[in-house]
Amino acid sequence: MPTNVTIDYLKAEDGYHLAENDKERMQALEKMLSAVPKHKGTEKLVLQIKRKIVKLKKEMEIKDAKKSGGKGFNIRKEGAAQLVLVGQPNAGKSTFLKRMTNADVAIGNYPFTTVELTPGMVNINDVQIQLVEVPGVIEGISTGKGMGLQLISSIRSSDALVLVVDGNDNPSRQLNTILNELDLGGIKINRRKPHINIKKRAVGGIEIVGKKHIKGDIKDVKEILMDFRITSARVVIMEDITLTDVQEVLDYSTTYKRAIVLVTKADIAPKGVVESLRNEFKDFKFVLVSAHTGGDTKEIKKLLYEVANIKRIFTKTPREKPAYPPVAMKKNATVMDVAKKVHKAIAKNFKYARVWGKSVKFDSQRVGEDHVPADGDIVEIHIK
Ligand SMILES: Nc1nc2c(ncn2[C@@H]2O[C@H](COP(=O)(O)OP(=O)(O)OP(=O)(O)O)[C@@H](O)[C@H]2O)c(=O)[nH]1
Ligand SMILES: [Mg+2]
């Protein structure tokens, strides 16, 4: 029992032991988590509580899926990428969706106007991108409150997120709440996976390579592994990591998503609101919008396109003009991926390609199948 916890924490812990069902247990765990003072000395305790939450959530999800017959909630993907609009109720998600996509969606001056997943399509640089509004984020959604499970599931299956915060209602608090709820739901924003490799094996105990990188006790790493029922494994650590990182990598449900932040209601938001957000959240890109003036549409579209992580490729047949519209591909797609997208047979008989654009030193340069074309490049595939 750590000595540096508060009375509130102890009360919440009592609540946990007295809880009579999963829902009460989950509420108690959430209270415990918010009552722990967050600093180095409590990292282990925080991680223990999070592990309990993950386990309980998994159990609750299984029970829930049985009840609902395992029916999924997600919106079918259309276009080159699916971006989900995530924000507190009344943040202005529908107003933005309607403005960008002409989606038929109700706007209301009360929370939870939108209770269903609502899609719309926006054309950016000749590419169709899908925006999907999901019900508002409130505290507790990560553990199933509100339409929490539906929300988390649609966020997981999306390509990236647009976090929407009301510029006139303490946007910093809103953003912290969103990030915290997503974190509890196993969704990490604008972060990459820590470089830790864990390979389970049948025997041999725990072997850790790169111990010097651990900011914490080896004993604690082993304890976390034990809690995930791993007693034999080779763990390779390639960069400085915390215990939190180890737990994150082990948790089956952890996913990483890119996100930008839309700050709404520019017309009534206090001056300098975006600047102070930029100061506080260094890993995020912000853009200001207003229902009245629209905002900087060019900048908004640029950020949406960037976060979608896609590129346009103009395909071309020898001696002809590039085809229009371009095909949209993932940012890291190769010439071979482009060939596959055009036709299976073209991919199969691929010989080489010629490329015009930013990814080559000169126009019509000959490249192999692994070449990665840039956004806007022209690719001409030659077959055997
Ligand atoms: N002044 C001002 N009001 C806005 C702006 N954008 C949205 N609103 C108002 O804020 C309220 C909520 O807007 P919605 O677009 O319905 O918000 P939402 O995020 O979709 O809300 P839920 O679907 O309930 O979660 C409405 O009364 C809008 O008219 C804006 O830029 N300026
Ligand atoms: Mg709405």
Beta carbons within 8 Å of 368's beta carbon, 6+ residues apart: 335, 352, 353
**Residue 111: CB within 6 Å of ligand 1?**
yes
- The reply to whether 154 and 267 lie within a common domain is yes
Q: Is 114 in the pocket of ligand 1 (CB under 6 A)?
A: yes
Give the domain range for residue 48: 7-67
Amino acid in position 70: G
CA-nearest of 116, 113, 119 to 131 is 119
One domain for residues 51 and 39: yes
Q: Confirm if 194 and 237 have CB atoms less than 8 A apart.
A: no
Q: Could you give the residue ranges of the DSSP H alpha helices within 164-230? A: 171-184, 218-227
Q: Which two tokens stand for residue 257?
A: 């998503």
Residue 241 falls within a domain, yes or no? yes
* DSSP strand pairing (310-316 vs 378-383): parallel
Does any domain span residue 75? Answer: no
CA of 211 to the centre of ligand 1 (A): 51
364 found inside a domain: yes
286 burial via Cβ count (<10 Å: 0-12, 13-18, 19+): buried
Q: In this structure, is residue 74 part of a structural domain? A: no
Strand order in the sheet with 365-367: 327-330, 310-316, 378-383, 350-356, 365-367
Q: Which of 85, 90, 98, 265 should be mutated for ligand 1, with most atoms under 8 A from CB?
A: 90
Q: Residue holding tokens 């647009």?
A: 162
**Intra-chain end-to-end CA distance of the chain, in Å:** 71
Do 179 and 296 lie in one domain? The reply is yes
Residue 1 belongs to a domain? no
For 331, the token pair is: 């940012």
The protein residue with its alpha carbon nearest to ligand 1, atom 3, reads: 265
Cα–ligand 1 centroid distance for 83 (angstroms): 19
Q: Are residues 91 and 225 in the same domain?
A: no
Same domain? 162 vs 149? yes
In a domain, 226, yes or no: yes
In the chain, the number of structural domains is: 4
Q: How far apart are CA 262 and CA 247, in angstroms?
A: 31
Distance CA 354, CA 302 (A): 28
Q: Is 325 in the pocket of ligand 1 (CB under 6 A)?
A: no
In the prediction, which pLDDT does 160 show? 97
Please tell me the residue having the least CA distance from ligand 1 atom 26.
109
Q: What Rg, from alpha-carbon coordinates, does the chain have?
A: 24
Which of 230, 250, 270 is the last residue in one of the domains? 250
Same domain, 245 and 263: no
373 C-beta closer than 6 A to ligand 1? no
Q: Quick one: 149 exposed, middle or buried, by C-beta within 10 A (0-12, 13-18, 19+)?
A: buried
Contact (Cβ atoms closer than 8 angstroms) between residue 380 and residue 363: no
Q: Does the CB atom of residue 94 touch ligand 1 within 6 A? A: yes
Q: Give me the tens of pLDDT residue by residue for the chain, a chain 384 residues long.
A: 555 678 888 889 999 999 888 888 988 998 899 888 888 788 889 999 988 988 888 888 777 666 655 445 678 889 999 999 999 999 999 999 999 998 888 888 888 888 888 999 999 988 999 999 998 888 877 766 667 777 888 899 999 999 999 999 999 999 999 999 898 888 999 999 999 999 989 888 999 999 899 888 889 999 899 888 899 999 999 999 999 899 988 887 889 999 999 999 999 999 999 999 999 999 999 999 998 887 889 999 999 999 999 999 999 988 899 988 899 999 999 999 999 998 888 899 999 999 999 999 999 999 999 999 999 999 999 998
Q: Is 98 domain-assigned?
A: yes
Q: Do 138 and 224 belong to one domain? A: no
Which residues are paired to 133 by β-bridges? 85, 118
**Ligand 1: does its nearest atom lie under 6 Å from the Cβ of 95?**
yes
Tokens of 142: 């990560």
Ligand 1, residue 97: give the atom nearest the CA: 15
Judgement on whether residues 93 and 201 belong to the same structural domain of the protein: no
Q: Are 324 and 314 in contact (CB under 8 A)?
A: yes
Q: How far is the CA of 259 from the centre of ligand 1 (A)?
A: 21
126 lines ligand 1 (CB under 6 A): no
**288, 308, 328 - which closes a domain:** 308
Beta-carbon contacts of residue 206 (< 8 Å; ≥ 6 apart) = 222, 225, 230, 231, 232, 233, 235
Give domain status of residue 318, yes or no. Answer: yes
Res 70: pLDDT? 45
| pLDDT of the residue at 328 | 94
Peptide bond into 326 cis (omega under 30): no
Rama region for 97: left / alpha / beta (φ>0; ψ in -120 to 50; rest): alpha
Coil, strand or helix at 228? coil
CATH of the domain at 175: 3.40.50.300
CATH number of the CATH domain containing 316: 3.10.20.30
Q: How far is the CA of 126 from the centre of ligand 2 (A)?
A: 27
Q: Are residues 93 and 141 in the same domain?
A: yes
Nearest ligand atom owner, CA of 95: 1
Whether residues 88 and 41 fall in one domain: no
- Round to whole Å and give the CA distance between 77 and 101: 15
Give me the pLDDT at residue 144, please: 66
Which residues place a Cβ less than 5 A from the ion ligand 2? 93-94, 113-114
Which ligand minimizes its atom distance to the CA of 137?
Answer: 1
**How wide is the angle at C-alpha 103 spanned by C-alphas 71 and 146, nearest 5°?**
40
**DSSP characters for 149-162?**
HHHHHHHHTSSEEE
Give how far the C-alpha of residue 18 lies from the chain's centroid of Cα atoms, to the nearest Å.
35
Same domain, 52 and 126: no
pLDDT score of 120? 95
Domain identity same for 149 and 296? yes
CB of 18 closer than 8 Å to CB of 214: no
Domain end residue (candidates: 211, 228, 250): 250
User: Is the Cα torsion angle 184, 187, 189, 191 positive or negative in sign?
Assistant: positive
